[in-house]
Every structure is written in structure tokens, then in C-alpha cells.
Amino acid sequence: MSNAPAVSSTSTHRAASGAATQFDAVVIGAGVSGLYQIYRLREAGFSVLGIEAGSGVGGTWYWNRYPGARFDSESYTYAYSFSDELLQEWNWNEHFAPQPETLAYLNHVADKFNLRPLIRFNTRVTAATFDANAQCWDIVTEAGATIRTRFMIMATGLLSATQFPDIPGIDSFQGKSLHTSRWPHDPNGLGGDKSVYLGKRVGIIGTGATAVQLIPHLAAGAASLHVFQRTANWCAPLHNGPIKPEEQAALKASYPAIFQLCDKTGGAFMHDFDPRSVFDVSAEEREALFEKLYTHGRGFALWLANFHDVMTDMRANKLLSDFVARKIRARVKDPAVATKLVPTTHGFGQRRVPMETNYYEVYNQDNVTLIDIRENPIARITPTGIKTTAAEYDLDVIIFATGFDAGTGAISRIDIRGPDGSSIKDKWSRELKTFMGLQVSGFPNMFMHIGPHAAFCNLPRCAQITVDWVTELMGYMRERNLREVVPTPEAETAWTRHAEAEADKTLLSKTDSWIMGSNIPGKPRALLLYAAPAPVFRQECKALAENHYQGMQLR
């Protein structure tokens, strides 16, 4: 047993090896979950350091500055709920805030709670090794610094590891090329620089949620826009709008009710499934609900407030998919283009639904061309543009809206070694295994927020569950003079099998998408999110703490 001190509130400890334990916890990532974790640990009296690769706070909202980036969670359901003062002083201007507003909000949070001095910016973590004698992590940064900490908390993001496609000639392009989540910053504001595309010949690869938000902006400002689509996605209208000044007071008074509702629903949104089956009602009633949700339902309503079986029964799902297909055909004038925009590989909602504002109408514009690269694949990127098997397109700018190595990517891009030298990257390259999405067997004192197996929900609501849980566990260990916690392999396997069984119940697992890891060549196919309803996950976390962390070894 080492002589290293247990978790304490002093800032520098001496471990058995003689090396200084600089911090009780290092939190990697200063997005929504990292900021809250840093706040909670400091408030609980732990010494904590945040490490962030970016030059500022915000995570997703710091990096993704492409024009059109915004929530599809209602702003007021995404906000932190831990401080009533914060809720009351912050005015959201739109039901679905655009990225600059969200980034301003997260900067405000960092300043209000004085979190910035606890964070080392412009610092990328490249490696971490667990010292079994000292029961500590040694975290190594790109600049070569080593930081010793009792706990390492990965708030590195579900969707932060950018993914470029493996297309021949990708580096040969002589014009400007960029990934959507590395959009250049507007020197005068918190958003992205629009000069990237204004008046230019633009090509965009990808038609996921990101592209669907960005494309209407490109179409409005570019000289020409070529959209290279491999798989059409089912999109739904966002129905965003301003929050009028007279609505602010009512909204602020409703926060307790809003968060209570989010605590009850499966996705931690204000939407919940209609308990009726689509087959319980007449065709007219069915159509009336579809129409109401499509025409007026804000945000994810068409997806998450629909008949419950549209997301579990392919026959029910087909009725909804056919309805949305009719809407697409009604909005796109050229029937051949409309046909290409109607998905054929999956049903509505089997992939994360991109939310749109005037997306389909863009294809009625003369300066916009849809290129079906399933029919004619991209052969290569050339110095002057993109060459498919059918034609060559000259471009000034190529935008890669090609997504992320989700869930595992941000963590396995760090060379993380457990006490026996084994690497997390190797482990997950064989099979995705976690214990409740919180810990990984063989990697003691490492926690994850919104990583692989995160609850599939309005993410800040679920991050709050896991941050509170980790903070409570660290308090529990401090009280008992414990230094190390790790799930047993048996508990991890049991929980992983349970997560797989939950995944099997959904239609998400029956198609390809980043949610299944299938966008990354060689990644084992597994649902990267925990498909059970958010209240079930909350209850499981609570029960684990109440049962003194059964399935976890505390030493």
C-alpha cells in the first residue's frame, strides 16, 4: 500500500514515489461538462486543474463556428440548472440559440464562477499513465509538461475528434479547405468568418446535421454551391424564433417546471412520446398528429413527441417516413432532385435527425447543385476541385462536413495507459466496453463525461447527472481515506451487455451512422450511446452510490 495521501483538499501532496501529486483532479476539456465539473470540485474543496486544447472555454461551441451552427435543444433546456441566479440573469434571445450566443453564455459562466484561473488553455493532452504505486495519473501535454493528479476526468467531448474522409488527393487541393468544426474565427465576434465562402465557388462534402445547418448560409452567399451527398438524411423543421421580451419573465418563472419535465422524459427534452401506437388511431388522426408536429412542433418534436412505436417498429416508422418524404417532394421543385433527397437507406429517426430551416428550398436555387456520390463516387480531390467518376468540379473552397470519431475518438487519441501498460485505444479497438459510460475496467481513477455510452439525451442534462455522481464519489472516497476506484471486469462486461441489449431494442442500431461508430473505418460496431431512457440512467447512477458502488473496487 502506498503512503500517498488520499483525496484531500490541499493543492500539493507527496506520493510514495516521491513525486508531487499536484491536483486531486485534472479535468480535460472546458466545454459544458468540463466547466461544470471544475466548478463542482472546487466548491467541494478539491484541488482541480482544467486543461483545454482551445484558447477559450466552450468546447463544441468554441470549435463549431460555421455559419448556421445552433442548438436543436431549446436554449432553456440546455442551460445549466445548478444556479438560480445564473438562470435568472441570462436572457436567451432565441428558442434555439445560435453558436455565438451559446459561446457568450459559457464565457459568462466561466467568468461569473471565476473558473478561468483554474484552466490551462492552448494545452493539448497527448498521453497519460497510471502509476500503480502512487495511485496517480501522470498526464503529459503536447508541450512536454507532466502533471500528476489523483483523478483524471475526461470531459473531452462526444463529438470533438474531427474526422476527414480518406479521399485520394485530399492534400493536393490548392484552394481553401476546412473541416466545419475548425471554421476560422470571425476577428470581430464569437462566430465564424463568413469571408470563407462569400462570392466563392464552394463544394461541401457531407449532409449530416452540420451540413444541413450550414448549407442554407452557403447557398445564400456563395457564387455556386455543389453539395456532395453520399447518404440522404431525414431532416425536420426546427421552427426557431425569437424569445420576445415579454416572454422572458414567464420563461424564467417556468425554469423549475422545465427542468422537472426534462427529468421525466426519455431524452431529457421537453418532448415525450405519445403513449398511443400509430396503429391505435385512424389514418386521419395519424396524419393530423404528423402534420401538427411537422408544421408547428419545435425542435425534436416530430422525432420525440410522436407515436411511441415510430421509433421501435419499422412498420410504424414507415408511415412517418412516407409522410416526411411527401413533405420533401412538396418542397423541392425538381422531382429528380427531390428523389435524391429522400433517404432510402434508413427510416426517419434511425439516425440523429438533422434540424433544418429552409434546407430543402435551397435545392430550388440556380446556384445550388446536388451531386449524388453514391451514384458517382468521388474519385479524387485534385488541385482545382473534386473529380467524381462522372465529372470534374472546379472549386475555390472545399468544406468537409464529414463529422467526428464520436464517443471514443477524443479519448483514444490520447495515449492512455493503465497500471499494466495496456492502452485504452487497443482495448476499444477490439470492443467498446465501459462501466456505465463512467469508468473503464483496467483504468483506475479515470472518469468520463459524455463519452462512449453516454446517456442519449439533451446532453447538459445528462452531464449534470454524471458530474454530480463523480463529485459525490470523490467526496465518499475522501471521507473514507480511499485512493483508488476501478470497476471490476465482470461489472463492466455485465453493464456493457446490458447497454447492448438496450441498443437492440431501438431502431438506431439497425442502420449505419456515427452513433454506431460505422462512420470510422475499422471501428467496432456498437451503439456509442446508452439507449435506455435518461431517468433510468439517473436511477442507475443513484442506486450505484446508494449501494456503496457495488461492482467497483475501492482501495
Q: Which residues bind ligand NAP (CB under 6 A)?
A: 70-72, 159, 165, 205-211, 213, 230-231, 352, 373, 401-404, 514, 519
| 337/446 with CB nearer ligand FAD | 446
Minimum distance between the CB of residue 351 and ligand NAP, rounded to whole angstroms? 7
Per DSSP, helices labelled H in 269-364 are 283-296, 301-304, 314-331, 335-341
d(CA 357, CA 500): 35
Phi, psi of 412, deg, nearest 5: -80, -10
| Residue 59 in contact with ligand FAD, rule: CB under 6 A | yes
| Residue 458 in contact with ligand FAD, rule: CB under 6 A | yes
- Binding partner of residue 59 among ligand NAP, ligand FAD, none, CB cut-off 5 to 8 Å per kind: ligand FAD
- Binding partner of residue 401 among ligand NAP, ligand FAD, none, CB cut-off 5 to 8 Å per kind: ligand NAP
Ordered DSSP codes for 113-178: TT-GGGEE-S--EEEEEEETTTTEEEEEETTS-EEEEEEEEE---SS-SB-----TTTTT--SEEE
CA nearest to 343, candidates 512, 205, 225, 509 = 512
Minimum distance between the CB of residue 177 and ligand NAP, rounded to whole angstroms? 14
* Sequence-distant (≥ 6) Cβ neighbours of residue 61 within 8 angstroms: 31, 69, 99, 102, 103, 106
Cell numbers for 335: 422531382
Minimum distance between the CB of residue 436 and ligand NAP, rounded to whole angstroms? 21
Minimum distance between the CB of residue 212 and ligand FAD, rounded to whole angstroms? 11
Minimum distance between the CB of residue 477 and ligand NAP, rounded to whole angstroms? 34
Applying the rule CB under 6 A, the residues between 145 and 184 that interact with ligand FAD are 155-160
| Residue 23 in contact with ligand FAD, rule: CB under 6 A | no
| Residue 71 in contact with ligand FAD, rule: CB under 6 A | yes
d(CA 409, CA 451): 9
| 56/98 with CB nearer ligand NAP | 98
Minimum distance between the CB of residue 273 and ligand NAP, rounded to whole angstroms? 20
In b/e form, how buried is each residue of 396-418, taking b as 16+ CB within 10 angstroms?
A: bbbbbbbbbbbbbbbbbbbebbb
- Binding partner of residue 125 among ligand NAP, ligand FAD, none, CB cut-off 5 to 8 Å per kind: ligand FAD
| 231/384 with CB nearer ligand NAP | 231
> SS3 sequence, 161-202?
CECCCCCCCCCCCCCEEEEHHHCCECCCCCCECHHHCCCCEE
In b/e form, how buried is each residue of 190-215, taking b as 16+ CB within 10 angstroms?
A: bbbbeebbeebbbbbbbbbbbbbbbb
β-strands 23-28, 48-51 pairing: parallel
| Residue 69 in contact with ligand FAD, rule: CB under 6 A | yes
| 75/412 with CB nearer ligand NAP | 75
| Residue 206 in contact with ligand FAD, rule: CB under 6 A | no
> First CA to last CA across the chain, in angstroms?
9
Torsion angle, CA of 355/358/360/366, rounded to 10 degrees?
-150
Task: Give how far Cα 441 sits from Cα of 2, 74, 437, Å.
Answer: 21, 36, 11
Element of type H or E holding 368: strand 368-372
Minimum distance between the CB of residue 160 and ligand FAD, rounded to whole angstroms? 4
Q: Is 215 helix (H, G, I), strand (E, B) or coil?
A: helix
| Residue 496 in contact with ligand FAD, rule: CB under 6 A | no
| 153/381 with CB nearer ligand FAD | 153
Q: Which DSSP category does 439 fall into?
A: B
Task: State the binding string over 222-261 for ligand FAD (x if CB under 6 A, else -).
Answer: ----------------------------------------
| 401/499 with CB nearer ligand NAP | 401
| Residue 441 in contact with ligand FAD, rule: CB under 6 A | no
Minimum distance between the CB of residue 62 and ligand NAP, rounded to whole angstroms? 14
d(CA 113, CA 126): 28
- Binding partner of residue 478 among ligand NAP, ligand FAD, none, CB cut-off 5 to 8 Å per kind: none
d(CA 91, CA 84): 13
- Binding partner of residue 458 among ligand NAP, ligand FAD, none, CB cut-off 5 to 8 Å per kind: ligand FAD
Q: Which of 47, 135, 210, 434 binds ligand FAD (CB under 6 A)?
A: 210
Q: CB of 329 within 8 A of CB of 232?
A: no
* Sequence-distant (≥ 6) Cβ neighbours of residue 497 within 8 angstroms: none
Q: Which of 7, 27, 28, 235 binds ligand FAD (CB under 6 A)?
A: 28
| 70/286 with CB nearer ligand NAP | 70
d(CA 360, CA 368): 11
| 69/486 with CB nearer ligand FAD | 69
| 99/509 with CB nearer ligand FAD | 99
Q: Which of 7, 26, 34, 130 binds ligand FAD (CB under 6 A)?
A: 34
The single-letter code of the amino acid at 375 is E
**Looking at 64-72, 249-257, 357-365, 465-473, which segment touches ligand FAD (CB under 6 A)?**
64-72
Interacting residues toward ligand FAD by CB under 6 A: 28-34, 51-54, 59-60, 62, 64, 69, 71-73, 78, 124-125, 155-160, 210, 410, 414, 449-450, 458-459, 463
